[in-house]
A and B are shown apart, each in its own frame.
Chain A
């Protein structure tokens, strides 16, 4: 069109003007007039600032659109957004033989060099990696939007807390049983909803997440209500990671004649968690080349075609949903162990949103992307503490922008390569 004509500023300016007015209407009252009891406290500078920024952005975009450079930029992005997925050549995995052992080695040594604060953060980050990987199965691979993922996380965490209280269950039992229980919850919730088409799953899971929280909050006799429930320290071969043995064994530090320190418990949690995450990553990489994983992705691409090939779409979707739930339950056990205590506020909607943001940023389907996104989104806010208030705002904006610019995420998975046997 106007590739060679010099850019005109009239149209962008007019558009920027309109944008400015609209932005003033939208942002004016809420950010400019702050409610203070029944009266108003004016902050008129704020809406002007926001509207100016928005309008300036619009102007910049409008001008850029007209320059050859900008057009190239936009065209490149459009092309990438549509395709972007490629098939592997089958020989690019050599590098992994160096990188993977290196990452594992770093992962194992970290707890011995990190201080207690960072060790805690690392554990949380790994928990989110696990949660991200679990939700990635549901959203990224199977294309089902689960907005109440945190419910399964809660099931896992509360299973350990309440199981210890009522049934005398320990860490290791919970590690095996909690994922199964979470999967059962997933099945009961998913089966009726997954049978119909449409996006009802999203709203049903959204509601379910809220319901679980409400029940945990209101069922005082059983769950302890808002006060939560305490979680016993983990054990290894009967040795407890607590100051005084409560579960009838010997404390870990006494057995080895060490000074008591809560670091041991953290290190132990971290190392077990690391092993679980590594196993999970290994499993997921394989899964993408297994019939079930392929069927999930196929279902995301085209459900009708899948049915015409004899794939029972309900069972396949349900299996993805249950796998996700299982991973959520697993993560819950670690969270409960790490905190030593659970209460309903840890399992609100924003938690689900954070996990979804991890999956979206990581690139719907890419294991590596999800791991990086989980580490970034959980560790970065620790560094940028002063922006804590804007965290959710950033996640929201991020989801919208990612969907517009990079619906397949920052890292796009490669399709596996196949060759016939000769």
Chain B
């Protein structure tokens, strides 16, 4: 692996029966970058995310995540196929967090609880020390609550702390999902259409927050987004998918001028996609 990269996807192919959702997809995500994955609906972007985060087992190809603090790189497929204990949760533990295109919050739990669940692996899970209220346990819980409120402040959700997640307005639910992903302490956070359904002001606000996450909190961002101005504005690297294949990759300027992208994607549907 190139030490400048956090993630390397090589020859990723994903088939569902006869449907080929991803075909020979390769791209890199550099350490500390904001990388965007764009493409028309049905291009296979979410499927790439599902492979990265271990929800799907890729039919072919490899996904390598750089090791933490000098450790050897991890292969996502390998984490899934570990006997007995393998599973997508190991990918999350390795440092990839995500949000979902259709928001998946714990709707009947409070906002803070959503964030505490995300810290499950950092808290004291021992039932005995919890039942006896040991100091170690209480300290871990206090730290967890502090961290939860920290991320609520970052995402400007503090006044909603003690509301049910399901009753928040849509835009706030999106932000809460990002806060929840950040609570796992990830190195790479994958955002699946975080601006979908937001109004222009909320979108601008979101763009700022994503940059803030990267600049202040040192997390690498991989994002799927349809809003071209948002994507062009904040990302350093763009990968364009169409019909499951990478048709262009590069910085915003290169992608904007790529003939393949113009015909396949930006061309006739530019306005429509931008406004959606």
Contacts and interface: CB of A to CB of B under 8 A. Distances in A.
A311 interface: yes
A420 B130 contact: no
Given A294-B116, A298-B117, A415 B92 contact: no
Interface string B81-107: 000010111101100011010001111
A28 B163 CA distance: 52
Contacts of A90: 162
Interface stretch (A43-51, A96-104, A283-291): A283-291
Interface string A119-144: 00000000000000000000000000
Interface in B128-171: 130-131, 133, 142, 145-146, 148-149, 161-164, 166-167
Interface string A289-321: 011101101100110111111111110000000
A381 interface: no
A308 B97 contact: yes
A257 interface: no
Given A290-B125, A311-B121, 8 more contacts: A291-B123, A298-B113, A305-B105, A308-B55, A308-B88, A309-B92, A309-B118, A310-B90
14 contacts: A87-B162, A291-B116, A291-B125, A295-B120, A297-B113, A298-B117, A302-B105, A305-B105, A309-B97, A309-B118, A309-B180, A311-B120, A417-B110, A420-B149
A416 interface: yes
Nearest to B133: A286
Contacts of B118: 309
B204 interface: no
B127 interface: yes
B198 interface: no
Contact of A311 (B89, B149, B162, B167): B89
A294 B113 contact: yes
A421 interface: yes
A198 interface: no
A418 B88 contact: no
A291 B97 contact: no
8 closest A-B pairs by CB: A310-B92, A290-B130, A301-B106, A305-B104, A420-B149, A418-B112, A291-B123, A298-B117
A136 to B, nearest CB: 16
Contacts of A294: 109, 113, 116-117, 120
B131 A313 contact: no
Interface string A374-386: 0000000000000
Interface residues of A, number: 36
A87 B184 CA distance: 24
A248 interface: no
A155 B106 CA distance: 35
Interface in B241-263: none
* Most B Cβ at <10 Å: residue of A90, A417, A418: A418
Nearest to A312: B89
B187 to A, nearest CB: 13
A287 B130 contact: yes
Q: Pick from A83, A287, A310, A419 the residue with the most CB of B within 10 Å.
A: A310
A283 B85 CA distance: 29
Contacts of B145: 418, 420-421
Contact of B142 (A291, A311, A416, A421): A421
Interface in A44-70: none
A314 B87 CA distance: 10
Contacts of B106: 297-298, 301-302, 305
A415 B164 contact: yes
B28 interface: no
Contacts of B131: 283, 286-287, 290
B89 A297 contact: no
B89 A307 contact: yes
Nearest to B163: A87
A399 B36 CA distance: 50
A122 to B, nearest CB: 26
Given A306-B117, A312-B87, A291 B161 contact: no
Contact of A420 (B88, B89, B146): B146
Nearest to A309: B118
B177 to A, nearest CB: 9
Contacts of B181: 308-309
A421 B127 CA distance: 24
A310 B121 contact: yes
Interface string A68-88: 000000000000000101110
B146 A415 contact: no
Given A87-B164, A415-B110, A308 B127 contact: no
A418 B62 CA distance: 43
B68 interface: no
B60 interface: no
B53 interface: yes
Nearest to A414: B110
Contacts of A295: 117, 120, 125
B162 A301 contact: no
Nearest to B112: A418
B227 interface: no
Nearest to B162: A87
B75 interface: no
Contacts of A287: 127, 130-131
Given A415-B113, A418-B110, A85 B164 contact: yes
Contacts of B202: none
B248 to A, nearest CB: 29
